[in-house]
């Protein structure tokens, strides 16, 4: 019998001083059996970095032609397509062709610079692609915040992201590999 997804109830308060976005979100997030706590927290981080009223998690890992996180217009155009990990150029080309903006959030420590060195020349041509790397220490620390019912605060200012629960705080400083710093 296949393992089922684990469901998390998450209350998020976002104070994004860089974008002037201040909002609370109630999320129900399904963690695929093959997904680690750290990866799920990277998905939540990406949600906070791009939060809007229309940003949603898709079926993600279960559907081949959708991102895991996207922002769609009322007319079903994809404004933002967010991918995670170390995607290949072919997949990112497809995403860049379908969406106005594409973000790739990488994580994985020492393997990221190797992936980036191999893929940078191929990915430079996509003007609507932004690539962020989340440092390994921050990813591990975010994984320590996981609980079945989470209440998290995301404070974003000058590119730094503080994630807090009632007991702990984690500083995340995403590294921009490709794109424009806003």
Residue by residue, DSSP assigns 48-108 as HHH--TTEEE-SGGG-TTS-SEEEE-TTS-EEEEEEES---HHHHHHHHHHEEEEEEEE--
Look at residue 110 and give its three-state secondary structure. coil
Given a contact cutoff of 8 angstroms between Cβ atoms, the answer to whether 24 and 11 are in contact is: yes
Phi, psi of 47 (to 5 degrees): -60, -50
Domains, the chain, ordered by start: 6-178 (3.10.640.10)
Q: Are 164 and 115 in contact (CB under 8 A)?
A: no
Q: Give me the sheet containing 129-133, strands edge to edge.
A: 55-57, 69-72, 78-84, 99-106, 129-133, 175-178
**pTM exceeds 0.75:** yes
| pLDDT tops 70 at residue 77 | yes
Let me know: does 131 contact 179? Beta carbons within 8 Å: yes
pLDDT level of residue 181 (50, 70, 90 thresholds): low
When pLDDT is cut at 50, 70 and 90, the band that residue 148 belongs to is confident
Render pLDDT for 35-61 as a digit per residue (tens, 0 to 9).
999 999 999 999 999 999 999 998 765
Identify the CA nearest to 95 among candidates 79, 110, 107: 79
CA 76/CA 95 separation, integer angstroms: 15
Residue with tokens 């990813």: 139
HSE of 108, CA atoms in CB hemisphere, 13 A: 14
Return the pLDDT at 59: 72
What's the whole-number mean pLDDT along residues 159-172?
A: 96
Residue 70 near residue 58, CB atoms below 8 Å: yes
For position 2, what pLDDT does the model report?
65
């Amino acid at each position: 019998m296949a393992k089922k997804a684990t469901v998390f109830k998450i209350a998020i308060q976002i104070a994004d001083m860089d974008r002037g976005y201040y909002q609370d979100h109630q999320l129900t997030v399904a963690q695929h059996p093959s997904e680690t706590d750290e990866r799920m927290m990277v998905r939540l981080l990406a949600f906070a970095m791009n939060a809007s009223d229309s940003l949603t998690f898709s079926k993600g890992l279960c559907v081949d032609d959708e991102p895991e996180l996207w922002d769609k217009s009322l007319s079903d155009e994809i404004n933002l397509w967010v991918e995670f990990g170390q995607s290949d150029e072919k997949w990112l080309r497809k995403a860049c062709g379908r969406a106005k903006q594409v973000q790739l959030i990488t994580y994985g420590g020492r393997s990221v610079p190797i992936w980036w060195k191999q893929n940078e020349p191929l990915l430079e041509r996509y003007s609507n692609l932004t690539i962020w790397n989340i440092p390994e220490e921050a990813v591990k620390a975010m994984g320590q915040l996981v609980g079945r019912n989470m209440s998290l605060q995301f404070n974003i200012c000058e590119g730094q992201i503080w994630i807090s629960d009632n007991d702990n705080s984690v500083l995340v400083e995403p590294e921009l590999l490709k794109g424009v710093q806003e």
